[in-house]
Amino acid sequence: MSISPLSSTAPPLTPRLSSCWRDFLADRQLPAALVSGLGSPLNLVMPDRLLRNAEAFTGVYRRLRLRGSLYFAHKANRSTALVRRIAASGFGVDVASVGELQHTLAAGVPGARIMATGPKGDDFLWLSGTAGAIVNADSVAELERLGTLIRRHRLPPVRVMIRLSRFAAVGVSVLSRPSRFGVGADQLDMVLDTLDRYREELVLHGTAFHLDTTGLDEKALAVEGCLMALARCQSKGHTPRAIDIGGGFGIAYLDDPEQWHSYARVLNDSVLGRHAPITWAGYGYGLKAERGAVRGTLGVYPSHRDKAGPAYLEALLACEGPRLRRPLSTMLLESLVELDVEPGRALLDQVGLTLVAVREVRDGPDGSLLVGLDANRHDVSAEEHGVLVDPLLLRADGVPPDEPVRAYLLGNLCLENDLISRRAVHLPATPRPGDLLAFANTGGYFMDFAATDALMQRRAATVAVRPAGQGWRWCLDAEYWPTEGEQ
The contact set with ligand PLP (CB under 6 A) reads: 73, 76, 94, 117, 210, 246-249, 342-346
Nearer to ligand PLP, 222 or 424 (CB): 222
Shortest approach of ligand PLP to residue 98 CB, angstroms? 16
Nearer to ligand PLP, 36 or 213 (CB): 213
Give, in order, the Cα–Cα distances in Å from 437 to each of 55, 84, 149, 276, 481. Answer: 31, 28, 50, 26, 28
Nearer to ligand PLP, 65 or 180 (CB): 180
Shortest approach of ligand PLP to residue 19 CB, angstroms? 24
| Helix and strand totals (H; E) in the chain | 12, 20
Nearer to ligand PLP, 253 or 474 (CB): 253
- Report which residue's Cβ sits closest to ligand PLP: 247
**Do 103 and 81 form a contact (C-beta atoms < 8 A)?**
no
Shortest approach of ligand PLP to residue 376 CB, angstroms? 23
Shortest approach of ligand PLP to residue 209 CB, angstroms? 9
Question: CB within 8 A of 380, min separation 6: which ones?
Answer: 41, 354, 356, 420, 439, 442, 446, 447
Shortest approach of ligand PLP to residue 123 CB, angstroms? 19
Nearer to ligand PLP, 206 or 343 (CB): 343
Nearer to ligand PLP, 230 or 346 (CB): 346
Shortest approach of ligand PLP to residue 96 CB, angstroms? 7
**Do 126 and 153 form a contact (C-beta atoms < 8 A)?**
yes
Give, in order, the Cα–Cα distances in Å from 17 to each of 14, 48, 270, 395, 472. Answer: 9, 16, 29, 18, 18
Best CA proximity match to 70, nearest among 94, 87, 88, 49: 94
**Do 191 and 143 form a contact (C-beta atoms < 8 A)?**
yes
**Do 244 and 208 form a contact (C-beta atoms < 8 A)?**
yes
Nearer to ligand PLP, 46 or 276 (CB): 46
37 CB-contact burial (10 Å; exposed 0-12 / middle 13-18 / buried 19+): exposed
Shortest approach of ligand PLP to residue 404 CB, angstroms? 33
Nearer to ligand PLP, 249 or 481 (CB): 249
Shortest approach of ligand PLP to residue 348 CB, angstroms? 8
What are the b/e assignments for 208-225, b being 16+ CB within 10 Å?
Answer: bbbbeebeebbbbbbbbb
Shortest approach of ligand PLP to residue 73 CB, angstroms? 4
Q: Determine the Cα–Cα distance for residues 178 and 165; give it in Å rounded to an integer.
A: 7
Give, in order, the Cα–Cα distances in Å from 300 to each of 382, 407, 441. Answer: 10, 20, 16
Nearer to ligand PLP, 162 or 356 (CB): 162
Q: Half-sphere exposure of residue 314, counting CA atoms within 13 Å on the CB side?
A: 16
Shortest approach of ligand PLP to residue 445 CB, angstroms? 7
Nearer to ligand PLP, 214 or 268 (CB): 214
Q: Determine the Cα–Cα distance for residues 165 and 208; give it in Å rounded to an integer.
A: 9
Question: CB within 8 A of 72, min separation 6: which ones?
Answer: 50, 54, 82, 83, 86, 91, 92, 93, 94, 342, 343, 344, 347
Shortest approach of ligand PLP to residue 29 CB, angstroms? 34
What are the b/e assignments for 416-454, b being 16+ CB within 10 Å?
Answer: eebbbbbbbbbbbebbeeebbbbbbbbbbbbbbbebeee
Angle at CA 32, nearest 5°, toward 31 and 35? 90
| Peptide bond before residue 41 is cis, with ω within 30 degrees of 0 | yes
Q: Determine the Cα–Cα distance for residues 53 and 349; give it in Å rounded to an integer.
A: 7
Nearer to ligand PLP, 35 or 243 (CB): 243
